[in-house]
Structure 1
Amino acid sequence: MRLGCIGDDFTGSSDLANTLTREGMRCVQYVGVPEGRADADVEAGIVALKSRSTPAREAVALSLRALDWLRDQGCSQFLFKYCSTFDSTDDGNIGPVAEALADALGASRVIVCPAFPATGRSVYQGHLFVGDKLLSESGMQNHPLTPMTDPDLRRVLGRQSRGSVGHLPFAVVAQGPDAVRAQLDAEDAKGHRLIVADAVRDEDLRVLGEAAAELPLLTGGSGIALGLPANFRARGELAAEAGPWRGQSGPAAVLSGSCSTATRAQVRDHARSHPVLPLDPDAVMAGRTGAEAVADWLLAQDGVPLAYSSADPADVRAAQERHGVAALAAAFDALFAETARRLVAGGITRLVTAGGETSGAVVEGLGLTELQIGPEIAPGVPAIRAGEALTLALKSGNFGGEDFFVRATSILEGTV
């Protein structure tokens, strides 16, 4: 294994696996910290954790365990992957985890770059944009768990970190890898270990990747990985590409817990021509709606049925006020996990999930350990094989077009 990656949620880890696979690395996504050795032909290993919204101390401990396992596999470089919208709070977890990994690896000059131009995420003058809007005006300010109200990543990261935060401006990145390396040295000389890097194009991410060829640690969204496989390939450390994708026939279903703007539009589009079941939070909390009933309804439908808790931000806040943020999130995680178990037991072979927390609950509920990465469904979302008769699409809330659910099930089947 050459590149060791630690993801703070399951959809983000799949996003990273998608990028590395497209760039020619043999990649496996592991669910939690594995036991034993990885297969000898794995070139990039991604340990997917559910640590984005856990207490910072727990996230650090999990990430360090993952690092230890990846080091044991022989990795020479490490990547901490988080969301391209920098989902976090002032307590973490991006800063604390990045600093803990840097401490363990003795790393300085640690690039911080969540840019992902293919999905509209760019960093300029240290500020994160989603399309043409600042992060704080993109809808992420309404996120139920990690509301992002400050687009200046230097300020956000500074509030989470012990040390000061540096900046690698676009004007330097545009000059190429040598200029980037010189600027990283200059930021290091100022005492900045975590360095926010501007990037607005894929070309910028490839420049950063080339400049980081000898760095032990990088952090960012999946885009920061674009330039890394070429470094390993130039050293003759990569084999041929993996074999073709094998589609999976059989029934499909969709579970959506994301409340992002993109997912709500996908739910509305899907409802025009497919059976949908809205999940009322009051009914779930009161026990009137349970996993058995939800799974039975989905299994009884034709086409691509969808069960969803996705709702407008005002409705989500009202439900959180009635039931508590943590209690409501735990109830839906448990509901989606048990529903997924019942769906697979009932014959579902293609399962699509929307939302990082929902996807994490489903993957854990199904007891999956290794995920094989297939073709791209949408930027940041690959098809995944989870066994001989189960394929998945784990979608981050903000990714995909309005027809994503149908497109995903078609690619999982191998008909697109």
Structure 2
Amino acid sequence: MIGAIADDVTGGTDAAVAFRRQGLRTAIHFGLPEAVDPGLDAVVIALKTRTIPAADAVAQSLAAADRLRAAGADRLYFKYCSTFDSTAAGNIGPVLDALAALTGADAVVHTPASPEHGRTAYQGHLFVHDQLLSDSPMRDHPLTPMRDANLVRLMDAQSTGRSAAVPHQVVSDGAEAIAAAITKARRDFRYLFPDALTDADLLAVARAVADEPLTGGGAGLAGALARVAAERRGPATGPPPQPPGGRAAVLAGSCSRRTLEQIAHLREAGRPAHRLDALATPDPEALAATALAWYDALDTEAAPLVYASLPPQALAEVQRAHGTERSAQILEAAVARVALGLKERGVTRFVCAGGETSGAIVAALGIGGGLIGAEAARGVPWIHTADGLDVLLKSGNFGDPDLLLTASEPR
């Protein structure tokens, strides 16, 4: 079993679908589970540790590692964001330090590179499409501003072990050359960042480190490790996963450009839609009650949309009125109450847009995790829970413009 520990919910989903895409039987848990099914090929425990105090992140990650190892996971993967989201204090470095000590790993190969998402690493520097990380919009992230693109410097600032890059000329020579470089580097370095410009580079890295007790990074290397595991196991058996049926609803909170496009596409198709207006009603309980009364009055079987998403100018107006943090709290609490009310009314298929929105809905519905099913879009899988709910947790910028529409169609 491959056991993965992710530092946020949607990142965990991203890793889980990377495993499932290669045919591995995969489950995801949101938060620390009481137990892990030992009969699976891969299990992801998605925590929310990216920006909490480092000591808390370490404690939660070690507890997750213990659960995974107890179920038979002999290889651990620490999943973090493909833009290396962290501060000078962590939490990537402190968590990897602790996991390395737990597993006895004397050299940990990890990389945020995910070429299919435009994240590449060259000469130890991380690029976002054609920009250095430090020149990308991540430079001004409110919680984890990334002002340096040098992965070695970033890691050395927050970990106790020294780091080094494995240059692309070594990676391009294949798995044997990478393995030889790792063996040589073990004497002096704990953390190694292999350059990766293509998925083929990541596959070569995965072949070199497939038996290491601890690796990490973005979903790119996770998927490459899954491919190696699938090749060793042999062809998957059974039919491919299918999208679920059941009564559906769409809940959106992301204000990203792509989610706004998807909402517009849904409304243009004639779907009933209700906006949670925090400017007029800054009370989550009242907002949810109004939305559920609207739902009860619908005379159509078409899956409705309840959304808090706003374009930048309108969002700024709400934030000026109530403050940025309070505005988010109001809307997330309202969406959570709406989700719970829809479940009580017989909705079993939830299409959720936005990382924080997804987290609020998962908590409200008491979803501890589930099996990973078919992808509605690249990196956006259905999750089938033990109590009969099917949830789609979409990061803000993921999916084509018609994703919310097609995912919620009658089946």
Task: Normalising by structure 1, report the TM-score.
Answer: 0.86
Look up the match of 2:262.
Answer: 266
Correspondence 1:7-406 to 2 at 5 A: 7-38=6-37, 40-141=38-139, 143-191=141-189, 193-233=190-230, 236=233, 240-241=236-237, 243-273=239-269, 274-283=271-280, 285-286=282-283, 289-298=286-295, 300=297, 302=300, 303-312=302-311, 323=322, 326-387=325-386, 389-406=388-405
After superposing the two structures, state which structure 1 stretch, 332-341 or 272-281, moved more.
272-281
SS at match of 1:351: strand
Amino acid of the residue matched to residue 47 of structure 1?
A: I
Contact 1:20 1:226 (C-alpha < 8 Å) held by counterparts: yes
5+ residue gaps, structure 2 = none
1:105 is displaced (CA, Å) by 1.3
Distance apart, 1:323 and its partner CA: 4.8
Change (3 A) 1:129 1:179: same
How far apart are the structure 1 equivalents of 2:47 and 2:295? 28
In 1, Cα distance between equivalents of 2:25 and 2:81? 22
TM-score (structure 2 length as normaliser): 0.87
AA matched with 2:380: V
Residues paired across the two proteins, number:
408
Partner SS, residue 227 of structure 1: helix
The alignment partner of 1:367 has SS state of coil
1:244–1:277 Cα change, 3 Å: same
> Is contact 2:111-2:194 (8 Å) kept?
yes
Q: Deviations over 1:236-257 (max 9, x none)?
A: 5x78445443543333222223
Q: Which position in structure 1 is the counterpart of 2:406?
A: 407
2:116 & 2:169 partners in 1: Cα distance?
21
1:153 to partner: Cα distance:
3.2
Query: CA offsets, 1:68-110, max 9 Å, x none?
Result: 0111011110011122233333333222222221121121321
1:282 positional shift: 4.1
Give, in whole Å, the separation in 1 of the partners of 2:134 and 2:153.
Answer: 13
Equivalent residue of 2:157, what SS? Answer: helix
Do the aligned partners of 2:243 and 2:376 also contact (CA within 8 Å) in 1? no
Q: Which amino acid aligns with 1:223?
A: G
Matches of 1:42 and 1:294, distance apart in 2:
40
Alpha-carbon separation, structure 1, partners of 2:252 and 2:281: 15
Q: CA deviation at 1:312?
A: 5.0
Paired residues of 2:284 and 2:334 also in contact (CA < 8 A)? no
The structure having more radius of gyration, on CA atoms, is: 2
The superposition leaves residues 318-353 of structure 1 with CA deviations (integer Å, 9 ceiling, x where unpaired) of 766765555444444333322211111122222111
State which drifts further: 206-215 or 267-276.
267-276
Note closer, same or farther for the CA distance 1:145–1:337 as it changes in structure 2 (3 Å cut): farther
- Give the superposed CA RMSD: 2.9
Going from structure 1 to structure 2, the CA distance change for 1:408 and 1:146 (only over 3 Å counts) comes to: farther
Post-superposition offset of 1:371: 1.1
**Change beyond 3 A, Cα 1:234–1:389:** closer
8 Å Cα contact 1:255-1:353 kept in structure 2: yes
Q: Give 1:155 deviation, angstroms.
A: 3.5
Alpha-carbon shift at residue 362 of structure 1 (Å): 1.2
Cα displacement (A) at 1:316: 5.5
What amino acid maps onto 2:2 in structure 1? L
> Does structure 2 conserve the Cα–Cα contact (< 8 Å) formed by 1:115 and 1:123?
yes
Amino acid paired to 2:113: A
Shift of the 348–370 alpha-carbon distance from structure 1 to 2, 3 Å rule, reads same
Equivalent AA in structure 2 for residue 294 of structure 1: A
Contact 1:115-1:220 at 8 Å conserved across structures: yes
Equivalent residue letter for 2:399:
G
Kept in 1, the 8 Å contact 2:89–2:157? The answer is yes
The runs of 5 or more residues in structure 1 that have no matched partner are none
- How far apart, in 1, do the equivalents of 2:314 and 2:217 lie? 32
Give the secondary-structure state (helix, strand or coil) at the position aligned to 2:408. Answer: helix
